[in-house]
Amino acid sequence: MTGTRLWTMLLVGCLTAVAGNDVFDYYSFCQEWPMTECEDAAASHDCQVPRNLTGWIIHGLWPDTLSGPDPAFCNDSYPFNDQEIEPLVPRLTVEWPNMYLASVWDNFWAHEWDKHGTCAMEGSPYIENEFDYFLTGLKLRYVYKVGQMLLNAGIHPSETATYSLAEVTAAVVSEVGVLPEVRCAWDADRHAQLLYQVRICLTPSYVPIDCPAAAGSGVQYTEACSEDGILYPVRVHAK
The long-range contacts involving 43-50, CB below 8 angstroms and separated by at least 24 positions, are 45/100, 45/101, 45/102, 46/100, 46/101, 46/102, 47/99, 47/100, 47/101, 47/236, 48/99, 48/101, 49/99, 49/236, 50/93, 50/94, 50/97, 50/99
Active site residues: 59, 112, 116
